Amino acid sequence: MCIVDAHHHIGEKGLKDTVFGWQEDIEDVIKTMDKFNIDITLLQPLGGAHDAIKVHNEIYQYSQSYPGRIFGIVSMNPKVYGKEKTIAEIERCVNDLEFVGIKFHTLAHGIDPTSEIGEYIFETANRLGVPIMVCTGPHGLPFTAPAMLIPRAKQFPDLKIIMAHMGGAYAMAQPAIHVAELFDNIYFDTTLVMNIYLEKAVKAIKAERIMFGTEHSTNVPVGLAKVESLRISKKEKEKILGKTAIKVFNLRISK
């Protein structure tokens, strides 16, 4: 079984995130992967990265140093970099650095998915054929409400849209499930959400649309225990732990 951590952040070495105060270095990522048998980690810049483009370059170097184990996801604040530079950087990361997705950080960057910025970011993801991950939950309302993704799910029916946190700990998990039942291109990750709602999601939209994520190395053992304790089949757990992400992100794996 291949285990994929589809939602994990990293910042500039030795620097704390300017929004959440987090810090994560590649040494911690690899050490944790080795300890808990994580085969692949998808790295994206922390929401408050000092220089997201620098972090993209570092993630690429990590992907070369640890081939087949580290893949990149683009994440940058369009309000800082502007439309042209943001689109150019997304294209560079996907086309030249082989990044496998885009993060639209509604919370850390304070951006409405239905806004003009949302329009060109989602359009770029659709044009490049890569999934887009979007923060959801009560922690960044109104931009993080699951229903805010309905217009984009309608507009881009072939675009895979991942609701990070599945609506959050509890307050919006059920609404997130309702939205996903309406749109086949909506997916979830396991970060923050309670198991009772994950089990409901498996019944509602199947494990093929749910993927494992941790956000930070300290949460890896907790995230694994969460999936292991789900009252679902072994095959469903295997899909959540790796098979869904491999398919959604079109990952090249060695086993």
Q: What is the reported pLDDT for 71? A: 98
Read off the amino acid at residue 163: M
Per-residue confidence (pLDDT) for residue 255, from 0 to 100: 53
Q: Which amino acid is at 111?
A: I
Asked whether 232 and 207 are in contact (CB, 8 A), the reply is yes
Q: What is the pLDDT of residue 254?
A: 67
Positions of the chain with pLDDT under 50? none
pLDDT at 8: 97
Q: Where are the domains of the chain?
A: 4-248
Return the SS3 of 202.
helix
- Which among 190, 176, 180 is positioned nearest to 236, based on CA atoms? 190
Say which CATH architecture domain 4-248 belongs to: Alpha-Beta Barrel (3.20)
The residues near 139 (Cβ < 8 Å, ≥ 6 apart) are 107, 168
pLDDT of 23 reads: 87
For the entire predicted model, the pTM comes to 0.96
pLDDT of residue 220: 98
DSSP category for residue 243: I
